[in-house]
Amino acid sequence: MNDILDIHTHTIASGHAYNTLYEMVRAAAGRGLTLFGSSDHAPAMPGSCHEMYFCNFKAIPRELFGIRLIMGCELNIIDYQGNVDLKRWLQKRLDYGIASIHDLCYEIGTKEENTAALIGAMENPYVQIIGHPDNSRIPLDYESLVKAAKEHHVLLEVNNSSLKPGSPRPGARENYYTMLKLCRRYNTAVILGSDSHCAADAGCHEQAAALLAEVDFPEELVVNRSLKALGEYLECVR
Ligand SMILES: [Zn+2]
Ligand SMILES: [Zn+2]
């Protein structure tokens, strides 16, 4: 599968990641990517940066080491309505938003509540991606999730880190089998994300790509294949 981009990544600004933005982009460029996106954790994540970090992205060159760079945020979903932890005016300034549930910032609810939280986040115009919907400790109704992602024109992520040995998200592989089967049925697109917290993993989608190959997932539903495909979801790359 053609895979030219990675836009779920973290830098030292997240507080528990270990490389700078420049180091991350250089590693991604070294792997031959065309587009790199940086998505540090929004402020509710313990140890992450102040909200003002997300206010000054204009300072950053949008081409570095010969590849294109976009600047977003991994927003923390904080309630069952799908509200997130960054002020609206700051969300508006992002190139893109990934909304994810992290148990440090969210009280895990029932399957219905967790699903409502993710669908609520999809209704936010500044959210284009739902991050790692794959953790068995945060149960989800995948049929409702996949249908809603199609309806709201939001991408569902297949998170490479969740599939690596020692992943903090149990059951990810089985949950992706379920999710991908439904994505195929409802024609819902996905994005592979490394969720890299160090440069060694920037642009690495090995486990996620292997899983897609294993289930023979249609390439036309994977936006990593081209900027044009991603551009259908992210205005900043149109
Ligand atoms: Zn996350
Ligand atoms: Zn992440």
Q: Which amino acid is at 183?
A: C
Q: What are the tens digits of pLDDT across the range 96-152? A: 999 999 999 999 999 999 999 999 999 999 999 999 999 999 999 999 999 999 999
- What is the Å distance from ligand 1's center to 27 Cα? 21
Integer Cα distance of 126 and 110 in angstroms: 26
Integer Cα distance of 149 and 221 in angstroms: 13
Q: What are the tens digits of pLDDT across the range 45-100? A: 999 999 999 999 999 999 999 999 999 999 999 999 999 999 999 999 999 999 99
- What is the Å distance from ligand 2's center to 38 Cα? 10
Report how far apart, in Å, the C-alpha atoms of 172 and of each of 5, 15, 180, 195, 208 are. 22, 24, 12, 14, 11
Integer Cα distance of 233 and 40 in angstroms: 20
> Could you tell me the CATH number of the domain that includes residue 18?
3.20.20.140
- Give residues whose Cβ lies within 5 Å of ion ligand 2: 74, 195
- Strand blocks (E) in 22-160: 35-41, 63-64, 67-76, 96-100, 129-130, 155-159
Q: What are the tens digits of pLDDT across the range 195-216? A: 999 999 999 999 999 999 999 9
Integer Cα distance of 4 and 128 in angstroms: 18
pTM of the predicted model, to two decimals?
Answer: 0.98
- What is the Å distance from ligand 2's center to 148 Cα? 22
- What is the Å distance from ligand 1's center to 48 Cα? 12
Integer Cα distance of 234 and 129 in angstroms: 9
The answer to whether the beta carbons of residues 50 and 61 sit under 8 Å apart is no
Cα-based torsion angle of the residue sequence 48, 54, 56, 62 in order, rounded to the nearest 10 degrees: 100
If we measure between CA atoms, which residue out of 197, 137, 188, 190 comes closest to residue 161? 197
Number of structural domains found in the chain:
1
- What is the Å distance from ligand 1's center to 128 Cα? 14
pLDDT number for residue 143: 98
pLDDT number for residue 1: 84
What is the pLDDT averaged over residues 181-193? 98
Q: How many helices (H) and strands (E) does the chain have?
A: 7, 8
Least distant ligand from the CA of 169: 1
Count CB neighbours of 138 within 10 A. Answer: 23
Q: Which domain holds residue 47?
A: 5-237
Report how far apart, in Å, the C-alpha atoms of 93 and of each of 18, 51, 53 are. 25, 12, 11
If we measure between CA atoms, which residue out of 185, 149, 157, 118 comes closest to residue 39? 157
If we measure between CA atoms, which residue out of 69, 70, 68, 122 comes closest to residue 99? 122
What is the pLDDT averaged over residues 13-40? 98
The answer to whether the beta carbons of residues 33 and 6 sit under 8 Å apart is yes
- What is the Å distance from ligand 1's center to 77 Cα? 10
pLDDT number for residue 200: 98
